Amino acid sequence: MYELVQVSERCYYVQSPAKIGLVKVSDADVCLIDSGSDKDAGRKVRQHLDANGWHLQAIYVTHSNADHIGGCQYLQKQTGCRIYAPGIERDFTVHPVLEPAFLYGGYPCRDLRHKFLLAQPSDATLLTDAVLPEGWELMPLPGHFFDMAGFRTADDVVYLADCLSSRETLEKYRIGFVYDVGAYLVTLERVKTMEAKFFVPAHAAPGEDMADLAQYNIDTVEEIAARIVEMCREPMPFESILQRLFTDYGLAMSFEQYALVGSTVRSYLSWLKDTGRLTVRFEDNMLLWERV
């Protein structure tokens, strides 16, 4: 874990639970794409910097989930690097309590205020095309999170952030985290036709072609949506839908999984309502979801 893997003349990634991109912008200067899950991840990255005599100029954040920004504060304090994050992701990076609060839908209790959902704050600046290294392309990849973005480097290596879950992860957990289902499907269709010399997704194996994996992610989304619609043949409250999904997919309920999967299921319900497959009724002061 945390090995440095070279994929082109100037592009690398650090093997970790959420892969960290590392790109040389000169002989002595490098930048990171995300920073790992915590201070320990930051220390591992710092070891690679020191071993190679590299100076860290900047961290480019793909999105503000804690497993992608957890090392930012440590690395910024140690190196003085700039941190850039896109759109709303910048606000979450500066104020990371927004993540567990958003997931839970209220003030997050202590069970949700841990490093897996609550990173340490860092000083981030809005990410724009103007602050990118020469030859880079900023690629909006919305859906998984609010304003998630990826990057195409001058070496034609594409860092895909959390667009794709591996087959193994989806087969085990089935319901991957999604904020905006409609936008996520559009992003997956874009990734399916994308070409590059090499792709580095954060949570799947890197490679030269992501089309099959993108289609598998699309198929999984559609399967979950169809299952929810089928459940709602009779009016059902959210908690019952969530319980059924956990049971059907053999998932274990915990506070963290309640927040992550629960938020995702609410996003599916919103998308299914907006696309005319579900409707709602209010009965005995309870919101019920029902198939159209």
CATH number, domain at 128?
A: 3.60.15.10
Q: How confident is the model at residue 221, as a pLDDT?
A: 98
Q: What is the pLDDT of residues 213-271, one digit of tens each?
A: 999 999 999 999 999 999 999 999 999 999 999 999 999 999 999 999 999 999 999 99
Q: How confident is the model at residue 15, as a pLDDT?
A: 98
Q: How confident is the model at residue 198, as a pLDDT?
A: 98
Calculate ∠ Cα 39-70-177, nearest 5°. Answer: 145
pLDDT band at 289 (very low <50, low <70, confident <90, very high): very high
Q: How confident is the model at residue 272, as a pLDDT?
A: 98
* Average confidence (pLDDT) over 265-287: 98
**172 and 286 share one domain:** no
Check: CB of residue 154 under 8 Å from CB of residue 147. no
**217 and 258 share one domain:** no
The whole-angstrom separation of Cα 34 and Cα 69 is: 6
Write out the residue range of the structural domain in which residue 264 sits: 225-291
Q: How confident is the model at residue 122, as a pLDDT?
A: 98
Q: Answer with the one of 221, 256, 272 that is the final residue of a domain.
A: 221
**213 and 229 share one domain:** no
Q: How confident is the model at residue 162, as a pLDDT?
A: 98
Q: How confident is the model at residue 39, as a pLDDT?
A: 97
Average pLDDT, the chain: 98
